[in-house]
Structure 1
Amino acid sequence: MSFSSLGLSASLVKAVAAQNYTAPYPIQQEAIPAILQGKDVLGIAQTGSGKTASFVLPVLEKLQGTRASRNRFVKVLVLVPTRELAVQVGDVFKTFAGSLPQKIKTFAVYGGVSINPQMMQIGSVEVLVATPGRLLDLVSSNAVHLSEVEVLVLDEADKMLNMGFEEEMNRILALLPRNRQNILFTATMDEEVQDITTRLLSDPLRIEMEVEKQNPDLIKQLAYLVEPERKGPFLRYLIRQENMKQVLVFVSSTRTADNLVGKLLKNGLQAMALHSKKSQGARTDALTKFKAGKLRVLVATDLASRGIDIQFLPHVINYDLPRSPKDYIHRIGRTGRAEAEGEAISLVSAEDLHHFKVIQKKAGKKVSLVETDDLDLSGY
């Protein structure tokens, strides 16, 4: 199946080819025609399944040949849970919109940076990607109006609800016109997501991508039994011995992230931290360098476990185990994306063993556990 067979114009098909998309992913094959037909869509899929393009492409297609938006009245609203995802989705829109014959202005807004430049640039925007809190700030300042939104996209809906954005989302929904198309993507379906789905979507096309179908055997999973006091040296040993050029390391707290980066730098390994206490500028800088291959190690809290699209990332390391099996799946899902192989490594202490068994059971895959007590880590 080709992208042109999904109903996309020659301009968009050419733009897709320029980004090295060879064939549409399964979720794109179902979502793109449905969105073009104006149907509501419910997509249940992990990050890495191709879901961003599955709504970006048809939304841009639908805007071709339409009148430009009134100043500060957006046509398409995309809500996302984090600043990083807002930037990422906004970049995807800009990439494809730049190849279209009709100019479509897209813009991403989020907190952590000054609101004034965003207020100045938001005029004549047709596609607005936003985090809930910053969007409400802009609405209250009359910088943007939502009464003419034609398409609403909720991306990572479960993450937004888990982060406590339910009240903000309800306030935003109350500002939108009743007659609109709704598109909702989520990685999981719990009661909260089911409730908003029932309230928001009208006879939606339900697309569910099984985790096993997305990346069967693409992620090589391995675990090492390492006591807490040896984890730092063992991590440095792994990076050097395996000659890891690009590795995403997950930790449980901002303090651990900063301490770990300090130790890595002290030992000659280029590293930066990504977490909620970093400024937006620092977070963007770290992520940009890491994506470009200019940063060897990115140490992150679960802020980065969803929605961060790093193509062909070869290694993910759980320095600390996540709290839940779902977070484990999202973390390791940063590698093994689409059709690329990857490696996910977990450092497990004796007190973590029971929790790790639970994670394996829920994830449906047994992971080999290698002991490291006899390994000489002096010098690391």
Structure 2
Amino acid sequence: MSDILRLLARSTSVSKAVAGPKPARPAAAPADAKPTSASKKRKRKHTSKGAGSVASTAATDAATQADKSTGKEDKSKKRKRDEVDGDEAVATNGHTTLAPAEVRSILKQHKLKYTILATLGSPEDRPKAHENEATEESASTEASEKRKKKDKKRKKQKESKEAIESADPPKPSKLNQIFPTPIQSFDELRTRYSISKRLHENVLAQRFVAPTEVQMGSLPLLLNEEHGNVSELDDCDVDVMTIAPTGSGKTLAYAIPAINHLIRTKHEQGDDYEKGIRVIVLSPTRELADQIVNEFRKLLLGTGIRVVGMKKSLIPKERRKTSHSARDAGRSNDDDDKDDKDDSDEEEDSEAEEEGSEDELASGSATSKGNGTSSRGLAVKSEIMVATPLLLLHAIQLCPDLFPVSKVTRIILDEADVLLDDLFLSQTTSIISHLTSPALSFSFWSATMPSTSETLATNLISRHPSALNSTKPRKLVRLIAGIKDSSLPTIRQTITYTASERGKLMALRQLFTTSLKTPCLIFLQTIPRAQALHAEILYDLPTPNRIAVLHSNLSETARIKVMDSFRAGEIWVLITTDLLSRGVDFRGVNLVINYDIPTSVASYIHRIGRTGRAGREGGMAITYYTEEDVKYVRGIVGVMEKSGGGEGIQKWMLDSLPKTSKEEKKELKKKGVKERRVGTGASGGENRKSRISTKSGYDRRVAARRKAAVDFSRRKKDRDVDSDDGSGSEWEGLE
């Protein structure tokens, strides 16, 4: 009976289990429930089989969660940085401060690159700098020895590494790039940098639409003490070297800070302010100096600051006589074909300058009784002096009492690569040696700047007393606007092979009759060649008196007259030498012809830069070259390819041209092409290959004989007239 009851109870329990609903997922056991033996076996079996997979899954989940948390933290940090950058771009003092990322984007867009070219530490920091330089030199020496003998010097390699690690950290690289905040409109000059109100009005009166790239980049460095909000320049004296294409507005870029500096100085000193030279602008040619003076005058209206161009008449006559011997002693013995670039010949021009010139009267420095002294004993009362090196050096040496330069606080070198070249280097360094102000600052400006000029500029600053006695570190910042040592891409450039000099003249005359774009500049190597070409093509244009020649042998009055006529449109074609290749602004020039190949790549860039100025499109440059010039063409073609303005230039042409050695480049720059130098003929006269004429040898001989016959008959007639005076005649007429 009991067995039957057990069976019924078992069946009842089973039926209850089956009758109940099946859960979707097994319910979790309560914490106090004790598992049965079967469940323990199943759990142990399941645990032994899947322990590894569960552990790996748990580790993967933990890593994933960690990555997610790290990503969230990074995103939160990025948001915080963005918020900080956004907070930085807040209006302060009436202007908006750009975020660092936006500053870099603007600089990249306008192709502006800043580099700390050299750092000159304070006297306390100089010994450390020398030690670091010595460490760097020893490290480089060891490295070179290791390359030669790698197998034998493994132990020395370890020792050198240990020595470098134990030594003081080396001085950071000199070429450190910085990112100052550029200006984007001329209104920022007033709102952000607080320049003089009158100066700002004069800038706007010139109707400039927007600042050019060189103005965007250089003005923040020169206008305020923060130097464009760059931490690397904090509490430092900053000198600037600017490299920008021709016609990009460099004159305005250095004129605005210089004038604003003088206005602030005058305001701070008040009644104690004394007039005198405080800013010096050096230029290689007188034409460029006159142009700089005119640009300064436009910006100085109503400011109380005056500018003057250095003239001979400012030096007293009795002291001027001694300058001739000094000029002869200081003149180099280079060939006469470079005299058009050397300012020493410019000073020898026959001048008829009166003592009360317009510049002197405008600057308030008119001399009294012709002795070069004014009522206060100064020949110049203007604050800004624009001059060529040799004339200013003579004035300082001959008349130190009339031309005191101890208060000069800024010196600006326009076309600095020429002023630091062999032609002007001694004169430039002599002028700088006379500037004794402890607050003197330097700025160098040019469209081309070789590495040698950069080194010379650094040495000039480092050796000057203002840097040696300074308590602050001094840094030279280089600004490159655009592509260094290249021309503007808006200029169409072509190069034409003419085989010979006759081919050049024929190509030029063909251009006159087909596609001549006036106004036009034609550059030649020497003054005699310029005169010869002028005589040859004087009447090739249908309208007479439209072709003129300009060179340094002309008097100053004649040169000014030619320049004014060319600017007024009365002269269509102007033949010249490298005298006009630098800095002179001819805004309407449509065509530049290199009749003679330039003596250097820099000369080519400056020559063709007379067209396409201030962003003007449509300028064209043509270069003729002969068989003698082939070995010098590679550099010019390279500039054409780099700038993107060359037409028909292909890579195979550049690769097929011969390379020019350093000696050949140096000789070309110093003396020009050998076949076109003065006195290279058989008898020291004109070289037959360089003769500018389309006449054959037979025609030239016939013309020479005809001219000789005419001269002989004229002389014979004159002799007959002199001898037939009536005294020796046999028949004296009827009585």
TM category (shorter chain) comes to 0.7 to 0.9
The structure 2 residue matched to 1:4, chosen from 170, 187, 203, is 187
- Contact residue 329 and residue 363 of structure 1 kept, 8 A: no
State the alpha-carbon separation in 1 of the partners of residues 354 and 416 from structure 2.
24
- Contact residue 40 and residue 205 of structure 1 kept, 8 A: yes
Moved more, 75-84 or 61-70: 61-70
1:322-341 matches, within 5 Å, as: 322-341=598-617
Letter in 1 for 2:402: A
The structure 2 residue matched to 1:77, chosen from 280, 283, 286, is 280
State the alpha-carbon separation in 2 of the partners of residues 115 and 170 from structure 1.
31
Paired position in structure 2 for 1:217: 489
Paired position in structure 2 for 1:196: 457
1:135 aligns with 2:135: no
The structure 2 residue matched to 1:167, chosen from 422, 426, 439, is 426
For the aligned residue pairs, the C-alpha RMSD in angstroms reads 2.7
- Contact residue 239 and residue 475 of structure 2 kept, 8 A: yes
Paired position in structure 1 for 2:715: none
Following superposition, the deviation at residue 200 of structure 1 comes to 1.8
The structure in which a higher percent of residues are helix is 2
Moved more, 153-162 or 5-14: 5-14
Paired position in structure 2 for 1:90: 293
Secondary structure of the structure 1 residue equivalent to 2:561: helix
- Contact residue 151 and residue 181 of structure 1 kept, 8 A: yes
Following superposition, the deviation at residue 31 of structure 1 comes to 1.5
State the alpha-carbon separation in 1 of the partners of residues 290 and 545 from structure 2.
27
Following superposition, the deviation at residue 243 of structure 1 comes to 4.1
Secondary structure of the structure 2 residue equivalent to 1:64: helix
1:303 aligns with 2:579: yes
1:18 aligns with 2:205: yes
Following superposition, the deviation at residue 253 of structure 1 comes to 0.9
Following superposition, the deviation at residue 215 of structure 1 comes to 5.9
Letter in 1 for 2:648: S
Paired position in structure 2 for 1:185: 445
Structure ranking higher on relative contact order (CA contacts 8 Å, 6+ apart): 1
Letter in 1 for 2:426: E
Secondary structure of the structure 1 residue equivalent to 2:221: helix
Q: What CA deviation, in whole Å up to 9, does each residue of 1:243-293 have, x standing for no partner?
A: 422001111110111111222323346122222222222222222222232
TM-score (normalizing by structure 1): 0.87
- Contact residue 487 and residue 639 of structure 2 kept, 8 A: no
Moved more, 130-139 or 258-267: 258-267
Secondary structure of the structure 2 residue equivalent to 1:221: strand
Number of aligned residue pairs: give it: 368
1:168-317 matches, within 5 Å, as: 168-176=427-435, 177-186=437-446, 187-200=448-461, 202-211=474-483, 216-226=488-498, 227-267=500-540, 268=544, 270-317=546-593
Letter in 1 for 2:306: K
- Contact residue 458 and residue 476 of structure 2 kept, 8 A: no
State the alpha-carbon separation in 1 of the partners of residues 568 and 354 from structure 2.
28
TM-score (normalizing by structure 2): 0.47
State which structure, 1 or 2, has the greater radius of gyration over its C-alpha atoms: 2
State the alpha-carbon separation in 2 of the partners of residues 255 and 290 from structure 1.
21
State the alpha-carbon separation in 1 of the partners of residues 299 and 519 from structure 2.
27
Letter in 1 for 2:589: L
Q: What CA deviation, in whole Å up to 9, does each residue of 1:296-346 have, x standing for no partner?
A: 011111121111111132110011111222211211111122311210011
Q: What CA deviation, in whole Å up to 9, does each residue of 1:122-158 have, x standing for no partner?
A: 5311110111111122222233110001211111111
State the alpha-carbon separation in 2 of the partners of residues 92 and 263 from structure 1.
37
Moved more, 125-134 or 345-354: 345-354
Which runs of no fewer than 5 residues in structure 2 stay unpaired? 1-183, 226-237, 312-346, 368-378, 463-473, 650-693, 696-735
Taking a change above 3 Å as real, the CA distance of residues 253 and 216 of structure 1, as seen in their structure-2 partners, is: closer
- Contact residue 312 and residue 335 of structure 1 kept, 8 A: yes
Following superposition, the deviation at residue 60 of structure 1 comes to 1.4
- Contact residue 485 and residue 605 of structure 2 kept, 8 A: no
- Contact residue 316 and residue 344 of structure 1 kept, 8 A: yes
Taking a change above 3 Å as real, the CA distance of residues 44 and 356 of structure 1, as seen in their structure-2 partners, is: same
State the alpha-carbon separation in 1 of the partners of residues 441 and 512 from structure 2.
47
State the alpha-carbon separation in 1 of the partners of residues 247 and 572 from structure 2.
21
Following superposition, the deviation at residue 13 of structure 1 comes to 3.3
- Contact residue 65 and residue 102 of structure 1 kept, 8 A: no
The structure 2 residue matched to 1:109, chosen from 272, 296, 310, is 310
The structure in which a higher percent of residues are strand is 1
Letter in 2 for 1:149: V
Q: What CA deviation, in whole Å up to 9, does each residue of 1:177-220 have, x standing for no partner?
A: 23222212132133244222343273133211234798653011
- Contact residue 519 and residue 573 of structure 2 kept, 8 A: yes
Q: What CA deviation, in whole Å up to 9, does each residue of 1:218-248 have, x standing for no partner?
A: 0111223323113224323313422422001
Letter in 2 for 1:239: F
State the alpha-carbon separation in 2 of the partners of residues 272 and 143 from structure 1.
39
Identity %: 31
State the alpha-carbon separation in 2 of the partners of residues 333 and 77 from structure 1.
25
Taking a change above 3 Å as real, the CA distance of residues 198 and 335 of structure 1, as seen in their structure-2 partners, is: same
Letter in 2 for 1:107: V
